[in-house]
Chains A and B, each alone.
Chain A
Amino acid sequence: MTENPAGDGTDSKRMLGRMGLSALALGAISAVGTKTAEAATAATYADADILNFALNLEYLEAEYYLRAVTGSGLTSSMTGVSSNQVIAPTTTLVPFQNTAIAYWAQRIANDELTHVNFLRLGLGSAAVPEPTIDLVNSFTTLAVAAGLIPAGQTFNPFESEINFLIGAYIFEDVGVTAYAGAANKLTMAANISYSASILAVEAEHAGCIRSYLAGQGGGKVTNAISALRQKLSGVTDKGTDLSGETPPGNPFNFANTDYNGQVYRRTPAEVLNVVFGKPGTGVTKGLFFPNGVSGYFATS
């Protein structure tokens, strides 16, 4: 333990370097108050398309957390489909040992369930139905790809509370980058507000999960997952142990942020690369969504 973390010569160097802020890092920022070429007027999609894209992700998260906490997922009245479209293990109730983690899981399940209901009510008849979701093969495929397990083994996120948190780690950072990336593609004031508030919640989830995993020595595992997400999407993604970076970074990195304290942003296509488990353009399905997602943003 270091008594004065600022004085350990690692991150403090980094901080001091930043205090002399290079113009390079900020080259992309345009003047405040001016409309840019990014203006939403050129868009061929509507707010509902963005929110429906988000709804696909909320379905995925809600199915995962509800199963972990209650043993069952969304009811048909909340999905827009009559028959079960979720591939999940028979037993999904996580055997929580730690009271805090159990309640955190409840909190997340409540939040994600509510996001589904909120978006569906807001979208009304325009809401997309829940696509087929895979919570079995997806995790094992991803764990093998990340090098966490050798081929032939399985990774079941419902098996233990640590596995559950690792599964949550996979989702939450992606949700943050998706909402952060979508914020400026929305046009209606109310939708920007709702989306901002949901973004904050997803980040709160991610901050909880990352700080706990970091404290438990989950650096290697989270680094491997982040590296895979980065490889799939082409968007920078940082795990919780940055001590291997040059210069060495924070070994308990609870926020997935760049040098300027900004969370990374992903376009819908880049988000799809992660949840479909395949890089590049033209990908229409895979991993968590074996039959693809519903709505305007369905292809990477």
Chain B
Amino acid sequence: MLSNPFTKILQEGVDRRRFLRRAGGIGAATMLSGIAGNALTSTPARAASTLTDADIFNFALNFEYLGSQYYLAALGTSLPASLTGTNPGKVVKAANTAVPFTDSPTGYFAQQLANDEVGHVSVIREVLGSSAIAQPEIDLQNSWTSLAMAAGLIVPGQTFNPFASEIDFLLGAYVLEDVCVTALTGAAHLISSPTNLAYAASILGTEGYQVGMIRSQLSAYGAGSVTDAISNLRSKLTNAINPTAGVDDNGTDYTNTAGGRNPYNFTNVDVNAQAFRRTPQEVLAIAYGGGTTGGGFFPSGVNGTVKSA
């Protein structure tokens, strides 16, 4: 038998009544308040956008560079020069970033995360050809501590190093992956070529798998309050540039407006069970840690047409 990654689960009873209350609370009118009746059949054709498919894929490529460098760093390596473009920005990181994986599945999960993200960089660069942007400057060191401070997870003087342990590694992945999902769900409708939309959908699917693994694992490890703090920060950063966004991020210990609580909330969805969607500007606001033209994971900003939060 393989090792069980869920050794820290409290064997408390299941509250079925709570769920029933919650299910009962999903009246169609309340639940679907986010959409107008018949929106699925009466909405106008695709939104007009000044962004080309290449702009959107390049925007996504910045985040695939970030994800790849993070996961590869966790495995003690980095993207080869053949995949980072001409004059790529540097990657700021500690000397030793190889995560001391102690749990067999998590180590392999990390490997798959790295494989898939590198695959995304490869595919997007291939699709874009000569118009592919180079890797922007990426910070995998100071960014984490600033973010953890802003989320209230550490106090001044402390640092957060996502490479210190496999749990810390999963938390770092949590920071990144939910954002990638919202970036792709938010951008899907802007893509004009059906072929490109198919590829974007398949990449989105993969990011969803990653989120499902990361959130379910962290929830089982009892990381609810930490993930909640990170989600609250992301929501706060979105709302700083779009006050009408409302809560657009839920942690893994989630209580809905009707009082139903799920302390193992592994999907990050709105009342319509839809993964949240963010505009490129909202995504940048988070990645920049509140900055407008750079900061956070991208100290000098991202590359491409869409660069400012």
Contact = CB atoms under 8 A, between A and B. Distances in A.
B40 A122 contact: yes
Contacts of A70: 16, 19-20, 23
Contact of A217 (B2, B269, B273): B2
A190 B189 contact: yes
B206 A257 contact: yes
A263 interface: yes
Nearest to A34: B193
Given A117-B28, A180-B201, A180-B202, A253 B275 contact: no
A211 to B, nearest CB: 4
Q: Would you call the interface of chain B mostly helix, strand, loop, or mixed? A: helix
Given A26-B126, A102-B14, A252-B104, A35 B275 contact: no
A206 B194 contact: no
Contact of A5 (B38, B52, B111): B111
Contact of B38 (A2, A18, A124, A185): A124
Interface string B63-86: 000000000100111011011000
A192 to B, nearest CB: 4
A197 interface: yes
Given A183-B198, A254-B213, A261-B203, A216 B2 contact: yes
A4 B277 contact: no
Interface string B219-230: 110000000000
B235 interface: no
B198 A2 contact: no
A98 B6 contact: yes
Given A32-B127, A176-B205, A208-B216, A115 B273 contact: yes
A207 B184 contact: no
A255 B119 CA distance: 13
Interface stretch (A104-112, A151-159, A268-276): A104-112
B23 A15 contact: no
Interface string B189-202: 10011111111111
Interface residues of A, number: 115
B9 A211 contact: no
Nearest to B80: A19
A211 B14 CA distance: 22
A104 B12 contact: no
A149 interface: no
B176 interface: no
For the residues of A in contact with B, the DSSP-based class is helix
Contact of A193 (B127, B185, B219): B185
B26 A19 contact: no
Interface stretch (A36-44, A129-137, A221-229, A283-291): A36-44
B160 to A, nearest CB: 22
B202 A103 contact: no
B95 interface: no
B234 interface: no
Contacts of A113: 23, 26, 273
Contact of A118 (B13, B22, B31): B31
A29 B126 CA distance: 8
A4 B41 contact: no
Interface of A: 1-7, 11-12, 14-15, 18-21, 23, 26, 29-36, 38-40, 46-48, 51, 66, 69-70, 96-100, 102-104, 106-115, 117-124, 126, 176, 179-181, 183-185, 187-212, 214-217, 250-265
28 contacts: A1-B3, A5-B110, A11-B111, A33-B193, A33-B196, A66-B23, A100-B220, A100-B264, A106-B262, A107-B262, A126-B41, A190-B39, A191-B40, A192-B46, A196-B277, A200-B205, A203-B211, A204-B266, A207-B211, A210-B209, A215-B5, A215-B105, A254-B112, A254-B212, A254-B213, A257-B205, A257-B206, A263-B205
Interface of B: 1-6, 9-14, 16, 19-20, 22-23, 26, 28, 31-32, 35, 37-41, 43-47, 52-54, 57, 72, 75-77, 79-80, 82-83, 98, 100-105, 107-112, 114-120, 122-123, 126-129, 131, 181, 184-186, 188-189, 192-217, 219-220, 262-269, 271-277
